[in-house]
Every structure is written in structure tokens, then in C-alpha cells.
Homo-oligomer: A and B are copies of this chain.
Amino acid sequence: MHAPTRFMVLTLLFILFTASTAIASSNIYIHLLNPHYGSGGHKHPDLNCLSWRLAVETNNLQNWTVVPLACKDYVGHYMLGKQYRQDVDLVTAEAYEFAKGLNLAGDGMDVWVFDIDETTISNLPYYARDTVGFGAVPLNLTTFNAWLEEAAGLAIPGSLKLYKKLIALGFKIVFLTGTEEIHREARTKNLKAVGYTTWEKLILREAGDGTGVAYKAKKRKELEEAGYRIRGNMGDQWSDLLGNNAGDRTFKLPDPMYYIG
């Protein structure tokens, strides 16, 4: 297994996020989930990347800072391949099944909370850079913030589909992100550009808001104190979903590239 080249990455990102599902499903299959080979094709008997990813997704591994180097290519192939997309699709489909079974009060106060990064917008063009290595390189906040300002993130297809269906069902949408307030314009531009055209609130993080689970729980509490009812809550991090006022039901989208506690 070789490291994805820049050309492969860009081609795949283009196909995965712009082409129809039919094309993506029939022509692309580089999803080589062999966990026993890491960077350069060397065997890594001590780390099973499938087990590592499962432990990450179930919150058994916490406070990790980078993707293990041995799993860099595995994570890259997973994120660029069909499996990631299908993993997301199953969760968003289940979320819709749940949502359509709820009775809404019709007063406009039933909300669905979405995180942004790797939940509604994908930063894969950034994470696929050689200098980022799908999370195997420690986060460079300067380059990441510059990327945010480009407002060039991609819609995650399953989440965009769910978003549209929730609005059709009568839910109000709240975006709740750990991004700092200073990036509001760029985030707004990015959301609108890829199809998230309307929302009740777009909550960004301000000085004194704290971080991670404390920040998200605080903002959700404020929402419910203002009379909103959080019926569903979707994020790629457990810190989006744990703590008070979590919502009637939470949905965890996959993200093996980074951890926010």
C-alpha cells in the first residue's frame, strides 16, 4: 500500500464530493483496509489500525494528539474511500428515521444541533495535505485557521441530505462549533456556498467560553434556557455529545483524524 499521492488525493476529493453517488460507487475502490501495513508498506504487528479506529470511535481512546504514524495511510485511504462515506450515510439515515418519528410542537423551538467540522463540512482538502497527513502530523493552528478563512470546506453529502430533510420536517437548525468568533464571516460563507443556506443560530466560540465538552454543554444549556428543545444532536467528537442538555438523542459521526476533549 502506497501513501496517497497529491494527485490521487485531489482527484478523489473531486470525485467523492462532486460526482453522483452512482459514479463514486461504481468506479472508485482504493479502500484497502489492511491494517497490518503502515507507511512504506512495512508491517506493524503491534498496532492494528482497525482496532485503533474502533477504539477511537467508541471513546475508549481519549486525549490522543495525533494519528499513529503506522495508521496514517490507513486513515487516509479510509477517509478518501467509500467506507467513510457509507459510515456517515448509515448514521445520517438513522438520524432521519429517528427525527421523522418525533412530534414537533410547531412553535419553531424544536431544534437539531449540528457541529460543523467533520460533521456538516469536511476539511479533507486540508487534512489530505502532505504537511498534515490525515492527522498524523501535530495540528498547526496557523495553517488550519488560514484554511478556515479560505471557506473552501466541502459539504458532507449524508449530512447535507439530512439537513435538508430536517428543515422539511420543520426542525430549526443550530450550528454549534468550536471555531472562534473571529472566523464567523468565513464559516458563514462556507456553509452557504456548499448548501447549508439557512439556520436559526450559528454559535461560535468566544473568549471565556471554555473549550470542548464544557463549551458545548454550556451553549446547549443556554439554548434550552432560551426555550429551545434540542431534539437531536450530531457531531464527530464525543465532546459534542456528552455533558448536560445533550439532546433527546445524539449521533456520533466518524472521525479518525483528530480528537477534541
Contact = CB atoms under 8 A, between A and B. Distances in A.
Interface stretch (A86-94, A122-130, A161-169): A86-94
* Interface of A (DSSP majority class): helix
A28 interface: no
Given A33-B33, A50-B83, A83-B50, A90 B55 contact: yes
Question: This chain: how many copies in the complex?
Answer: 2
A250 to B, nearest CB: 8
A239 B66 CA distance: 30
Contact of A52 (B33, B50, B55, B90): B90
Interface in A233-251: 251
Nearest to A97: B61
A60 interface: yes
B57 A58 contact: yes
B94 A50 contact: no
Interface in A39-84: 48, 50-52, 54-55, 57-61, 83
Nearest to A58: B252
Contact of A90 (B48, B87, B90): B48
A153 interface: no
Contact of A86 (B48, B58, B83, B254): B48
Nearest to A33: B33
Given A54-B254, A60-B91, 19 more contacts: A33-B33, A48-B86, A50-B83, A50-B86, A51-B83, A51-B87, A52-B90, A54-B90, A55-B90, A55-B91, A55-B94, A57-B57, A57-B58, A58-B91, A58-B252, A60-B94, A60-B251, A60-B252, A61-B94
